[in-house]
Structure 1
Amino acid sequence: MFGYVRPPLELLPQAETDRFRRTYCGLCHTLGGRYGPAARMILNYDFTYLAILLSDPAETEPCRRRCAASPLRPRAYQPASPALELAADESVILAWWQLRDGVEDHGFWKGLGYRSGAAALKRAYRKAAASRPDFDARVRRQLAALAALEREQCPSMDAAADTFAQLLAAAADGVGDPVRRRVLEQMLYHLGRWVYLVDAADDLQKDAASGNYNPVALRYGLRNGRWDEESRQAFAKTLDHSIHMIATAFELWDFGVWRPVLESTVYSGLFAVGRAVLEGTFHKLPPREQRKKHKKAEETT
């Protein structure tokens, strides 16, 4: 995943922030327990969000322990559960293929970081793929389809985004309840579409310099990775449509105690991140300014 799915924790009550952090720590412990210390390096908010989506409506009783991140004071965390284990397995598979994609897209020297990360995660990936072979196979198929679009320089932004969206929707395949599975498939499909498009927009200037495939640049005929105002506004509407579709699916299910953090991400966090990417400030804002962006997004959505 890419680091764009960020709940605006500063807008949430402390109890909800603590709940999110317990899941974040729980996923870290689950990754470490199932795959060893190297797997913990892939932990991020995106995968924590996936774990919450897959979790039962009620939170289980948390545990407390010290860890490398908090060696002096024990931290509360969610113990391993079927949802956390599923999220951990799928996170390893997604991270592995993201690293392999980075290896393919970069030369030897620029790709060293991706190669070292893939090497560190290789054993974990093999174990995760053995545990979730159907998910791994679907990820492979969708990435192969995406690679084909890249080779032919397909100008269809929607075709490329759909390929990645279907990949992420497959993360719901392990959910037993058919209605809940359908809801999560829809949420994850449109979230995948949004993530792919935001990432492409974030990489516009980098891809323009390197010559890498970027369907957003091709769709809008952008030169040097720079927006014109008409194209920027049209693209913002496309991003907002994906968020509205996520919200539509979200309202069809009772997410229990997780509703506040999921709701704030859908209705505030994604809008704020999209705006920051389009303004070119996503990687530049200090924490205080990030909070202001989130508050502005909440006031206008």
Structure 2
Amino acid sequence: MFGIVRPCTHRLGERFKAEWMAHLCGLCLALRGDHGQFARIVTNYDGLLVSVLTEAQSGTAPDARRTAGPCPLRGMRTASVAQGEGARLAAAVSLVLASAKVRDHVADRDGLLARAPIALAARKVARGWDRAGARTGASLGFDTAVLVDAVDRQAGIETLAGPGTSVLVVTEPTETATAAAFAHTAQLAGRPGNAPALAEAGRYFGRLAHLLDAVEDQGADAVAGAWNPLTATGTPLAEARRLCDDALHGIRLALREVEFTDAGLAHRLLVHELRTSVDRAFGTSSCGHTATASAGQGGNPYAGGPHAVENPYGQAPYGANPYGGNPYAPNAPQAPGGPGMPPPMGPGGGGGGGLPPQRPRRGLLAGCAVAIGLFCTCQMCCTEYEGPWSRERREPLCDGEDCCDGCDCCSNCGCDDCCCCPCDGC
């Protein structure tokens, strides 16, 4: 999957994670329903923002969700997924976005696309996606010609751009395309008054998408000799970061002008997670907590970090904890017994019970068979799974790859008291 808004599910929290997955799966199934199985490969994280914005304005209607069947990417579980016009518009936009990305790779002669027969086939697929997106868009009252026109103009603009050209001239077609897509969600939601503000948010989002893609690809493009907007226009990274920060601020201001029914997920993605995407691209961090402070201190305001304050009690007002932090942690040393102390729990102690017996490990061949099954159904990457040999519960390999080092201070979007919230009082 591609896209710049790639949220860590650990940061989203249970509510927003469920909603985000509903829109992601809804986009995937809308692509399959309207355009066939092969179209599902264009499912992307940015396209689902169209579905999120539509629902945020109209609210979750009773028929806005349906139960989807088991899917390997969900660990063969059923799920409640989004459906309706928002998901279908997201599918149309995703097809056109994917078409543009394929054409860009063909123009850059990336990898196998440097071979003429493969490039020809890729162009044919891209044209098919353009037509499919246009059909779906027309059924929703959205003319995808503005998206296709932006894609077509991009090549000519890049040809003319050179040192001294503003990089915003290069990002203009992407800004125009995303502005149109964001604005149309207001029509689908029955709130036409939101269209100007959403168009503004979409324009800034398109700018961010283009700039962040250029930042992330600049090194590889230099090695491959491919065209890069920052290199071609001579835009330094400091200026690119300034433009990105300005776009973040613009999105935040534009969203304040939009009338939402439930802005929770839209705000989480377009304010918090988008800030994280910018920091990730530029190799910085948006979170004020370190891994130690978050995991070990539970949000301790006296822990290290830019928001830390001096501990008025010094290092340890009552002496060091002889049990290394939490005496109730699973592996913490136990306090020695003494007069009046109850006997230890577990086998041989007065408390009875004890830990449940562990399941026996699988053998080599059985574990290999299970590992192959987990890998082929994507459970190892996308959902919690049982270790093939150890039988222990494990986190998915891809889940949380973009996590902010264990910081969950904004998991519930508590803007009033969250020290790493970038909202400025939202």
**CA-atom RMSD in angstroms:** 3.1
Deviation at 1:64, TM superposition (A): 1.6
Number of residue equivalences: 287
Question: Scaled by the length of structure 2, what TM-score is found?
Answer: 0.60
Kept in 2, the 8 Å contact 1:90–1:135? The answer is: no
Name the residue aligned to 2:58: 57
- 1:151 and 1:31 mapped to 2: Cα distance? 33
Q: Answer 1 or 2: which has greater helix percent.
A: 1
* Corresponding residue for residue 5 of structure 2: 5
Q: Could you say which residue in structure 2 is the equivalent of 1:278?
A: 282
Describe the shift of the 1:72–1:161 C-alpha distance in structure 2 as closer, same or farther (beyond 3 A).
Answer: closer
Amino acid corresponding to residue 155 of structure 2 in structure 1: A
> Structure 1 110/293 Cα, relative in aligned 2: closer, same or farther at 3 Å?
farther
Larger Rg: 2
Residue identity opposite 1:270 in structure 2: L
| Cα distance in 1 between the residues matched to 2:120 and 2:273 | 32
Cα gap change, 1:128 to 1:143, in 2 (>3 Å): closer
Go from structure 1 to structure 2 and tell me whether the alpha carbon gap of 1:162 and 1:234 turns closer, same or farther (over 3 Å shift). Answer: same
Paired with 1:27 and 1:119, the residues of 2 have a C-alpha distance of 23
| % identical equivalent positions | 21
| Alignment pair present for 1:97 and 2:100 | yes
C-alpha displacement of 1:173: 5.2
| Correspondence for 1:167 | 177
Q: How does 1:225-236 map to 2 (within 5 A)?
A: 231-236=236-241
Structure 2 match to 1:216: 230
- Counting only pairs closer than 5 Å after superposition, residues 39-78 of structure 1 correspond to structure 2 as 39-55=39-55, 56-61=57-62, 62-69=65-72, 70=74, 72-78=76-82
Within a 5 Å distance, the mapping from 1:1-301 to structure 2 comes to 2-55=2-55, 56-61=57-62, 62-69=65-72, 70=74, 72-78=76-82, 80-106=83-109, 109-111=112-114, 119=124, 123-132=128-137, 135-154=143-162, 155-172=165-182, 174=184, 175-176=186-187, 177-220=191-234, 231-257=236-262, 259-279=263-283, 290-292=402-404, 295=407, 299=420, 301=422
Contact preservation (8 Å) 2:20, 2:265: yes
State the TM-score, normalizing by the size of structure 1. Answer: 0.82
Higher RCO structure, 1 or 2 (CA under 8 Å, sep 6+): 1
Q: 1:293 to 1:267 in 2, by over 3 A?
A: farther
Partners of 2:88 and 2:107 lie apart in 1 by 29
Per-residue deviation, 1:243? 0.6
Paired amino acid for 1:246? I
Report the equivalent of 1:225: none
Kindly state the Cα deviation for residue 37 of structure 1 after the two structures are TM-superposed: 0.6
CA displacement at 1:71 relative to structure 2: 7.5
| One-letter amino acid matched to 2:107 | E
**Alpha-carbon distance in 2 for matches of 1:252, 1:275:** 26
**In structure 1, what is the Cα distance between the partners aligned to 2:409 and 2:150?**
33
- Paired letter, 1:3: G
Question: In 1, Cα distance between the equivalents of 2:85 and 2:421?
Answer: 38
Task: Give 1:115 shift.
Answer: 6.0
User: 1:270–1:73: structure 2 CA closer, same or farther, 3 Å change rule?
Assistant: closer
Stretches of structure 2 lacking an aligned partner (at least 5 in a row): 286-396, 411-419
